[in-house]
Chain A
């Protein structure tokens, strides 16, 4: 059936007119969903693609699901992709993406929508009430100013859903055939930070947020406070039995037994429910909590509901400061979690703080920032580490008071305004790319991450190789346990999935200094970008679980990725009925990536803008990172070509050779190496002449080689 996996319609919310229109999804299917779908919609609905700040009313923000959403595809049924022009990046806020998990995209599908296109700007704050096909714009002046949790609760109340569980069946409208549900609507909203157009996050439920790109402020600038969606419909799939059976296989073959976990296993996706929170839990009375259809929840809910679902980086960024004031790990944890809670309520993306807070503290101690500094700040910097400071800090950011006024536009915007370029030379301001914080995988050492970011538009944040080739051996090394899979085999298994560009080419995975600028590495980065663009960001497979290159639960250690029984292409086939190979998906990713680059080009991208911060070229990682860390393991062949996990030593990138590498990369992509722009021939081979035409019209078509 043509609509297998698809709801069939896209919802266009015109905020200027306060009108909702339904668009047929038929013409967008080639893009797969998620990022591809969102980008195609942006291409069609954004009238001015030269915008460089997402807060312009002409910006278009798309929330897209995928054919997998709402179905039990393992860790693929619950992610929502957010696309549009972002905020707070440097030098330009690119057309960018973010995604979040939870229930929003599955609700979207059950309500009958594949995506939501948001255009224009409302005259006054509104929120949108979607129940299946019914869409209503509701005055949000009473919600404006509410924090993200209060907003969600208020919307539930409006729709007549009471707090708590054990609720009776509720009608979507006033007749039983209009649909019934026992579920709460999924409410995606912004907090005060977004309202004041400070680069912030979109929050759904307690712990799902789209942080990168600062789409919270995009919504704020559009006067959009929240979108509530309640669906009682169904998602048809091509082969239900096939889908169910493949899901069973995934659990039985690839994933740990929930009650007999192999906690030292190298299973990638398959560790099952393990909470990714870095603070000592306030209480052990807790459960795992998962996005829709996940095979192993990474979040948790506590007996004290306050810190529910806080996970990953947001549970860590404040701990280092908090420990100055507390002894007990639990107290430190609580201080951190309280800060995380404050962040979630105001709706800020805490990732930037990874680099911003240490840098700001540095400025404070240098006497540059503070009551008497050149940069005036009355914040109690000596209290940095206490929850009170965090609250005060967020308040000044949200209200654009104190240094908040400058930071609101972006961290590097502030840095340049304050004339602190030197901190980018020294690395004290650790923003390696696009004005974004260092993720913790330094581009000088973890090459695919750094290059991947440089060749796209945001912190790469794709843990595929990182999980398998760094974390797995790392885990064994730290506790001097034997490697579960020898380097030789591990590299074989990964390389086997690198088609169509580098299938079986192990040298692509050589992380030694000699290989930092090679064609092989360019192929690896291409593969990684294209894989992510389609299988993860367009199909909505979760980055924590996919790709799964190898897996110690299986014979021969074969992972689920690309496998015959539970590989990405299997899910695509059983859901949509389309017999597409794993590599066909990567080709689709290439097309989507080209569409992205076309938009960046229209925005004003040129290869000369694609550069790391100066310190990445000048300073060694030594002392800053790896020196204090005895093993940053990556695979590397020894002089006899035998592979081992080797600590890749201190090093920096050579600017000139990075430029050469870029040329190689552009060449392989079939782009103009002089500019980094797509060429007509390349676009036309992908049936994307319409893109070439638009580029040509503004004289930004890459020159053919």
Chain B
């Protein structure tokens, strides 16, 4: 699991990145669950992305990584994170599940950092 050093944005930028984007700019993701199937669950914040990347034995995130990095870059406004997402998502030796786990961890670290900067312990 590679470590990522993110540069620290200003508190203002940080809280912008953390904020919830307008409904129309939501990222369409979802979840596959046995046996109920696919359930759309669009996300509107980095925090929601983080949670929807979690893996458990009965369900799997349904996230299109390229769209994700574009969305993080253009809509959320965290180009640095977007780049990391790209590299990690395109790592084909990793299984889809592992990539989700890794992204979950990376975004988790970024969230922690941003929250600290923006001084939002409970977002």
Chain A positions within 8 Å of B, measured between CB atoms, are: 263, 274, 276-278, 280, 312-313, 316-317, 319-320, 323-324, 327, 329, 332, 354, 358, 361-362, 365, 430, 439-442, 463, 466-467, 471, 474-475, 477-481, 544, 623-625, 627-631
Contact of B51 among A313, A332, A358, A441 (CB under 8 A): A332
Complex contacts, A627 vs chain B, CB 8 Å: 64, 67
Inter-chain CA distance A323–B39, complex, in Å, is: 15
A623 touches B40 (CB 8 A): no
Interfacial residues of chain B within 53-70, with CB under 8 A of chain A in the complex: 54, 56-60, 62-64, 67
Given contacts A320-B39, A629-B62, contact A479 B95 (CB under 8 A): yes
Contact of B40 among A280, A329, A358 (CB under 8 A): A358
- CB nearest to A439 among chain B residues: B37
Name which of B3-11, B22-30, B77-85 contacts chain A. B22-30
- CB nearest to A449 among chain B residues: B37
Complex contacts, A624 vs chain B, CB 8 Å: 28, 40
Chain B positions within 8 Å of A, measured between CB atoms, are: 20, 23-24, 28-42, 44-45, 47-48, 51-52, 54, 56-60, 62-64, 67, 94-98, 122-123
Q: How far is the CB of A450 from chain B (nearest CB, A)?
A: 12
B34 touches A320 (CB 8 A): no
Q: How far is the CB of A299 from chain B (nearest CB, A)?
A: 13
A278 touches B62 (CB 8 A): no
Inter-chain CA distance A440–B48, complex, in Å, is: 21
Complex contacts, A623 vs chain B, CB 8 Å: 28
Q: How far is the CB of B46 from chain A (nearest CB, A)?
A: 12
Listed A/B pairs (10) with beta-carbon separation below 8 Å:
A263-B57, A278-B58, A316-B33, A440-B33, A441-B38, A463-B35, A478-B97, A628-B28, A630-B96, A631-B96
Q: How far is the CB of B114 from chain A (nearest CB, A)?
A: 13
Given contacts A316-B36, A316-B39, A544-B35, contact A628 B64 (CB under 8 A): yes
B20 touches A324 (CB 8 A): yes
Q: How far is the CB of A328 from chain B (nearest CB, A)?
A: 10
Contact of A278 among B44, B45, B59 (CB under 8 A): B59
Given contacts A280-B56, A354-B39, A442-B38, contact A628 B29 (CB under 8 A): yes
Complex contacts, B95 vs chain A, CB 8 Å: 478-481
Shortest 9 CB-CB distances between A and B: which pairs?
A440-B37, A320-B41, A480-B95, A365-B23, A628-B64, A629-B62, A440-B38, A479-B97, A313-B36
B35 touches A629 (CB 8 A): no
Inter-chain CA distance A120–B24, complex, in Å, is: 50
Complex contacts, B58 vs chain A, CB 8 Å: 274, 276-278
Given contacts A324-B45, A327-B47, A365-B24, contact A276 B67 (CB under 8 A): no
Inter-chain CA distance A109–B20, complex, in Å, is: 55
Complex contacts, B42 vs chain A, CB 8 Å: 320, 358
Contact of B32 among A263, A467, A629 (CB under 8 A): A629
Q: How far is the CB of B65 from chain A (nearest CB, A)?
A: 8
- CB nearest to A471 among chain B residues: B34
Since A278-B36, A320-B42 are in contact, a sample of 4 more A-B pairs with Cβ atoms closer than 8 Å, ordered by chain A residue number, is A332-B51, A440-B33, A440-B37, A625-B40
Complex contacts, B97 vs chain A, CB 8 Å: 478-480
A479 touches B63 (CB 8 A): no
Inter-chain CA distance A475–B38, complex, in Å, is: 14
A327 touches B122 (CB 8 A): yes
- CB nearest to B22 among chain A residues: A365
Inter-chain CA distance A193–B67, complex, in Å, is: 41
Interface of A is mostly: loop
Given contacts A327-B47, A478-B96, A478-B97, contact A312 B28 (CB under 8 A): no
Complex contacts, A358 vs chain B, CB 8 Å: 40, 42
Complex contacts, A475 vs chain B, CB 8 Å: 34
Q: How far is the CB of A206 from chain B (nearest CB, A)?
A: 19
B38 touches A629 (CB 8 A): yes
Given contacts A278-B58, A478-B96, A480-B96, contact A625 B47 (CB under 8 A): no
Q: How far is the CB of B111 from chain A (nearest CB, A)?
A: 9
Q: How far is the CB of B32 from chain A (nearest CB, A)?
A: 7
Complex contacts, B59 vs chain A, CB 8 Å: 278, 316
Complex contacts, B48 vs chain A, CB 8 Å: 323-324
Complex contacts, B20 vs chain A, CB 8 Å: 324
- CB nearest to A481 among chain B residues: B95
Q: How far is the CB of B11 from chain A (nearest CB, A)?
A: 20
Q: How far is the CB of B116 from chain A (nearest CB, A)?
A: 14
Complex contacts, A276 vs chain B, CB 8 Å: 34-35, 58
B38 touches A630 (CB 8 A): no
Inter-chain CA distance A278–B30, complex, in Å, is: 13
B35 touches A312 (CB 8 A): yes
Q: Which of B52, B97, B122 has most chain A Cβ within 10 Å?
A: B97
Given contacts A280-B56, A466-B35, A624-B40, contact A477 B63 (CB under 8 A): no
Q: How far is the CB of A323 from chain B (nearest CB, A)?
A: 5
B30 touches A629 (CB 8 A): yes
- CB nearest to A322 among chain B residues: B51
A628 touches B67 (CB 8 A): yes
- CB nearest to A351 among chain B residues: B36
Inter-chain CA distance A280–B51, complex, in Å, is: 12
Complex contacts, B122 vs chain A, CB 8 Å: 327
Inter-chain CA distance A323–B45, complex, in Å, is: 10
- CB nearest to B63 among chain A residues: A628
Inter-chain CA distance A703–B36, complex, in Å, is: 40
Q: How far is the CB of B105 from chain A (nearest CB, A)?
A: 15
Given contacts A263-B57, A317-B39, A628-B62, contact A323 B52 (CB under 8 A): yes
- CB nearest to A314 among chain B residues: B36
A323 touches B96 (CB 8 A): no
Inter-chain CA distance A362–B42, complex, in Å, is: 11
Inter-chain CA distance A45–B99, complex, in Å, is: 58
Inter-chain CA distance A277–B58, complex, in Å, is: 8
- CB nearest to A311 among chain B residues: B36
Inter-chain CA distance A479–B57, complex, in Å, is: 11
Inter-chain CA distance A477–B95, complex, in Å, is: 8
Complex contacts, B52 vs chain A, CB 8 Å: 320, 323
- CB nearest to B96 among chain A residues: A478
Complex contacts, A479 vs chain B, CB 8 Å: 95-98
Inter-chain CA distance A479–B32, complex, in Å, is: 14
- CB nearest to A298 among chain B residues: B35
Inter-chain CA distance A350–B39, complex, in Å, is: 13
Complex contacts, B62 vs chain A, CB 8 Å: 625, 628-629
Q: How far is the CB of B58 from chain A (nearest CB, A)?
A: 6
Complex contacts, B30 vs chain A, CB 8 Å: 625, 628-629
Complex contacts, B96 vs chain A, CB 8 Å: 477-480, 630-631
Q: Which of B29, B31, B40, B123 has most chain A Cβ within 10 Å?
A: B40
Q: Which of A312, A324, A361, A628 has most chain B Cβ within 10 Å?
A: A628
Inter-chain CA distance A439–B28, complex, in Å, is: 17
Q: How far is the CB of B92 from chain A (nearest CB, A)?
A: 10
- CB nearest to A317 among chain B residues: B39
Inter-chain CA distance A580–B119, complex, in Å, is: 71
